[in-house]
């Protein structure tokens, strides 16, 4: 299939393009490099024997998008492009509503103009908000607690209506839990700007000597060791789920939300200890107050992904830590260091 990948130079997009190419799909990356680097595309090209095409473009430019669609004629779209920082979205909500929601509208309009009716969308487990029960299944009520999460929720609703208006349309919204890890080669990985907000890149930067110590936000949660529990999922597993979703679009009509997680929760201390084992380094850490907006525990019921996509996560916490360390060690300054 011909797959247009918006945000394909980013963390999850770059890994997904590698997997799409290894399954013989033809891909076109479309990215404005707002939060990524052309170096990521160069490395994807290196990992896939040069078969990647990429175009610098902004998804908000519907006219240009439409021309790109007319030329490439994709069978399906995977839509990663967007902004993703929860804290920034709280401080600048209109930026998030414009970039994420208007970006999605622009993309769907370009698809409509060019007869493309199949899309896989990057949603997030953040659409669930504070869990009523665990594990979280797709029927759990949706109550996102910040503007970023609300953009994911609104785009899901838009996709539901877009599909309802035309029975030939299909949209799969993949609700990711906590994506971590890197490609086994160590050539592509997560390259956050500035001080990382997320746990795994922060731990990796402590291990490599770029940060002094990890602050653990809260050790008084009602969890097995008092620290927050999450469902970490290896980015390569996540990437393979996108390939499964693209393949499933042909047999699915309408809108389908699907959780992507392992179903297994690990605490901050579990991750820290696994990373120490993977890297052979001690991770200096200190306990700090809870981070506002954090929940005690969140993990997926991944049954639907198995039923609908024939996919389940294969890689465990050790592989997540080994690959994160391998990437960090080889690229202490991310893509900027090359
Ligand atoms: P990322 O920032 O690495 O990738 C997003 C890509 O989109 C970047 O390459 C960026 O340059 C590009 N982009 C942004 N705005 C654009 C625009 N207007 N036009 C063209 N390109 C644009 O993020 P990621 O971690 O790979 O996440 C991919 C998607 O998955 C995002 O939609 C994110 O919200 C979602 N998601 C991520 C996580 C996570 O923890 N990483 C969790 C849940 C959901
Ligand atoms: N944590 C720390 N110290 C840090 C960073 C994180 O103790 O420096 C803890 C958090 O308190 C939490 C756990 O590590 O208990 C995981 O935190 P992350 O920031 O890595 O991930 P979150 O679960 O908070 O959020 C992630 C994504 C969001 C997404 C959400 C739900 O960053 O974009 O998962 O899918 F919305």
**Average pLDDT taken over every residue of the chain:** 97
Q: Which of 96, 97, 133, 148 is flagged as catalytic?
A: 148
Convert the pLDDT of each residue in 84-142 to its tens digit.
999 999 999 999 999 999 999 999 999 999 999 999 999 999 999 999 999 999 999 99
**How close is the Cα of 246 to the center of ligand 2, in Å?**
28
| pLDDT > 80? residue 337 | no
What pLDDT shows up at residue 239? 98
| pLDDT > 80? residue 228 | yes
**How close is the Cα of 30 to the center of ligand 2, in Å?**
28
| Average pLDDT of the residues in 233-242 | 98
Convert the pLDDT of each residue in 103-118 to its tens digit.
999 999 999 999 999 9
State if residue 81 touches ligand 1 by the CB under 6 angstroms criterion. Answer: yes
Residue 214 alpha carbon, nearest atom of ligand 2: 8
Convert the pLDDT of each residue in 184-213 to its tens digit.
999 999 999 999 999 999 999 999 999 999
What pLDDT shows up at residue 66? 97
CA dist 17 and 49 (Å) reads 12
Residue listed under structure tokens 């297994």: 264
| Average pLDDT of the residues in 157-162 | 98
Regarding pTM above 0.85, the answer is yes
Residue 125 alpha carbon, nearest atom of ligand 2: 35
State if residue 58 touches ligand 1 by the CB under 6 angstroms criterion. Answer: yes
| Average pLDDT of the residues in 50-76 | 96
Q: Taking CB atoms and a 6 Å cutoff, what residues make up the pocket around ligand 2?
A: 84, 86, 124-126, 176-178, 197-199, 202, 214-217, 228, 230, 268, 291, 294
Q: What percentage of the chain carries pLDDT values higher than 70?
A: 100
What pLDDT shows up at residue 51? 85
Residue 81 alpha carbon, nearest atom of ligand 1: 7
**How close is the Cα of 158 to the center of ligand 2, in Å?**
27
**How close is the Cα of 50 to the center of ligand 1, in Å?**
23
2-182+233-261, which class in CATH?
Answer: alpha beta
Convert the pLDDT of each residue in 250-262 to its tens digit.
999 999 999 999 9
**How close is the Cα of 14 to the center of ligand 1, in Å?**
10
Q: Among this protein's residues, is 299 annotated catalytic? A: no
| pLDDT > 90? residue 338 | no
For the chain, the structural domain boundaries read: 2-182+233-261
State if residue 9 touches ligand 1 by the CB under 6 angstroms criterion. Answer: yes
What pLDDT shows up at residue 50? 78
What pLDDT shows up at residue 203? 98
| Average pLDDT of the residues in 293-300 | 95
Ligand nearest to the CA of 298: 2
């Amino acid at each position: 299939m011909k797959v247009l990948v918006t945000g394909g130079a980013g963390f999850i997009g770059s890994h997904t393009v590698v997997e799409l190419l290894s399954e013989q799909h033809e891909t076109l990356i479309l990215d404005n490099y707002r939060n990524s680097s052309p170096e990521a595309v160069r490395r994807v090209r290196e990992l896939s024997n040069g078969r990647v095409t990429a175009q610098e473009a902004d998804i908000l430019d519907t006219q240009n998008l439409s021309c790109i669609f007319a030329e490439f004629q994709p069978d399906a779209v995977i839509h990663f492009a967007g902004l993703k920082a929860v804290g920034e979205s709280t401080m600048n909500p209109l930026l998030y509503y414009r970039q994420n929601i208007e970006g999605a509208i622009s993309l769907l309009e370009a698809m409509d103009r060019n007869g493309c009716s199949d899309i896989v969308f990057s949603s997030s487990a953040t659409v669930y908000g504070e869990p009523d029960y665990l594990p979280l299944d797709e029927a759990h009520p949706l109550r996102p607690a910040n503007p970023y999460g609300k953009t994911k929720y609104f785009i899901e609703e838009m996709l539901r209506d877009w599909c309802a208006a035309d029975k030939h349309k299909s949209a799969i919204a993949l609700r990711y839990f906590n994506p971590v890890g890197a490609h086994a080669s160590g050539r592509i990985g997560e390259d956050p700007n500035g001080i990382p907000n997320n746990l795994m890149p922060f731990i990796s930067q402590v291990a490599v000597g770029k940060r002094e110590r990890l602050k653990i936000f809260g050790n008084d949660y009602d969890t097995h060791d008092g620290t927050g529990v999450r469902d970490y999922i290896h980015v390569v597993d996540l990437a393979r789920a996108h390939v499964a979703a693209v393949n499933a679009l042909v047999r699915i009509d309408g809108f389908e939300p699907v959780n992507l997680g392992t179903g297994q929760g690990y605490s901050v201390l579990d991750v820290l200890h696994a990373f120490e084992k993977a890297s052979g380094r001690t991770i200096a850490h200190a306990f700090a107050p809870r981070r506002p907006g954090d929940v005690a525990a969140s993990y997926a019921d991944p049954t639907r992904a198995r039923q609908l996509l024939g996919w389940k996560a294969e890689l465990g916490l050790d592989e997540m830590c080994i690959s994160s360390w391998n990437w960090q060690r080889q690229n202490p300054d991310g893509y900027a260091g090359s």
